[in-house]
Structure 1
Amino acid sequence: MSDNNRLRDVFDAIADPTRRRLISLLAEVDDLPLHELTAQFQMGRTAVSKHLAILKEAGLVLDRKIGRETRFRLNATPLKEINDWVAFYSKFWSMNMMRLNQLLEEEEK
């Protein structure tokens, strides 16, 4: 799914701790069936499915049917948007910390 076809904002999709945990679980393996994902949470299959649907709308999760089983896998490509956003602020804080260090060194002299 291209960025233009996403139905949900990636930032919105990862805002929930359960969805972040689902992303972590899916990052560790190629794919997992719904029942194995559900076993990792203290909530029902329907609740986990709703979280997966939100991740799918954001393009973060892909699914495929194998017989009666649905297997899910991570599509990390949309996470680049978050990485790029955080990288900007990382540069901002690095520059400010460097300026602070320079100021402190000047005051010590």
Structure 2
Amino acid sequence: MPVDIFSALADPTRRKILEMLADHDGYPASEIHSQFQISAQAVSQHLKILREANLVYVEKRAQQRIYRIDTEALGELEDWLHNMKRRWSSRLNALDAVLKAEMEKLKKNQKE
């Protein structure tokens, strides 16, 4: 069963792993593990969750597993965030219009 992207991103260790992968073309699991003070098994579990959320993919090279960011999944996340920002901006613009109208009423009433 796929993991929800937001659930996967909720953990700071997984976010840090994604940041590391964003800075490199590919990162072996052993090097990812070396960046954390947790067990290799814990890092492996984090990588599994990131794979299940389609945020990373793994490439097997001989004895190594090389992890890379799946840019398609990040694009979908970016699209969702853009849509949410647009919705909120629309609501905030409507609120701004109401507040401006109320301020104009107050100014008009004060002049009278």
Superposed pair shares fold, TM > 0.5: yes
Q: Percent identity?
A: 38
2:32 counterpart of 1:37:
yes
2:68 counterpart of 1:51:
no
**Structure with the largest fraction of helix:** 2
* Higher-RCO chain (CA-CA 8 Å, sequence separation at least 6): 1
Which runs of 4 or more aligned residues in structure 1 lie more than 4 Å from their structure 2 counterparts after TM superposition?
Answer: none
Structure 2 counterpart of 1:76, one-letter code:
T
CA shift at 1:47, angstroms? 0.7
CA shift at 1:72, angstroms? 1.0
Alpha-carbon RMSD across the aligned residues, in angstroms, is 1.9
| TM-score, normalization by structure 2 | 0.77
User: Which residue number corresponds to residue 109 of structure 2?
Assistant: none
CA shift at 1:7, angstroms? 3.1
Q: How many residues align?
A: 104
Task: For structure 2, list consecutive stretches of 5 or more residues without a partner in the other structure.
Answer: 105-112
CA shift at 1:54, angstroms? 1.2
Structure 1 counterpart of 2:31, one-letter code:
E
2:102 counterpart of 1:107:
yes
| TM-score, normalization by structure 1 | 0.79
Task: For structure 1, list consecutive stretches of 5 or more residues without a partner in the other structure.
Answer: 1-5
User: Which residue number corresponds to residue 3 of structure 1?
Assistant: none
2:60 counterpart of 1:60:
no
